[in-house]
Amino acid sequence: MEDLKNNIPPTKNKLHVPLWMSNKKNGEINKDLLNTLKSVPFFTRLSKHELKQISLILYERKYSASEYLFKEDTPALGMFIIKSGTIEIGKINPAGESMTLASIGQGEILGELALLTDIQRTASALCVTPATAYILFKHDLNDLISRETGMGVKIMQDIAALVSDKLKQTTDELVKYKMEIYI
């Protein structure tokens, strides 16, 4: 039964590795992870103590090339921080063709809207190379925020600012695109 809780299928004589590995290791805090967290736009105002609290609710997973982090129209359960590798963000257009929208690499984030809403994924994230990612699950962040409201306010304000900036960039690109059509 314990194996089922950890997403490990029960079988005999086989070694299984959990899908997601916790970053809680004998109370040690990974300094590389703390440095990575400092580079996440909505964690920059957090203290070292607050970053340590975030690090304890992150999970790590390794992906193979051609493996999806997530697919379009699936439930969005959390945000990813790329530790290593290259990820392509893509969509299928109305003609059924695959379109690459962005390429994400080490230290970058994706899926941050999942921390704010219960929407489905609006695009797919495919590993171009082998990759390792940390995930911050929405329910874990919400639990932490309920205990540490001051930290929660800082995080949510900064996520909102990031999403607002991205929306502005998208709007500017759309206006530029529309202008090119009319010229």
d(CA 72, CA 93): 12
- Give the count of alpha carbons within 13 A of 42, CB side only: 26
pLDDT of residue 146: 94
Mean pLDDT by 10 residues, the chain (183 residues): 39 47 60 86 90 92 96 94 95 90 93 90 96 94 93 91 88 80 65
Q: What is the pLDDT of residue 174?
A: 84
What is the pLDDT at residue 12? 45
Q: What is the reported pLDDT for 147?
A: 94
Q: Where are the beta strands (DSSP E) in the chain?
A: 21-22, 58-63, 68-70, 78-84, 87-92, 98-104, 109-110, 124-127, 131-137
How many whole angstroms separate alpha carbon 175 and alpha carbon 5?
A: 49
CA pair distance 5, 18, nearest whole angstrom: 10
Q: Which residue has the tokens 């004589």?
A: 13
Q: Which pLDDT score is estimated for 17?
A: 43
For residue 81, give the nearest of 114, 45, 48, 46 by alpha carbon.
Answer: 114
Q: Give me Rg for the CA atoms of the chain.
A: 18
Single pTM value for the model: 0.78
Distance CA 5, CA 46 (A): 32
pLDDT of residue 60: 93
Q: Give the count of beta carbons closer than 10 Å to the beta carbon of residue 87.
A: 24
Q: Please check whether residue 86 is in contact with residue 154, taking contact to mean a CB–CB distance below 8 angstroms.
A: no
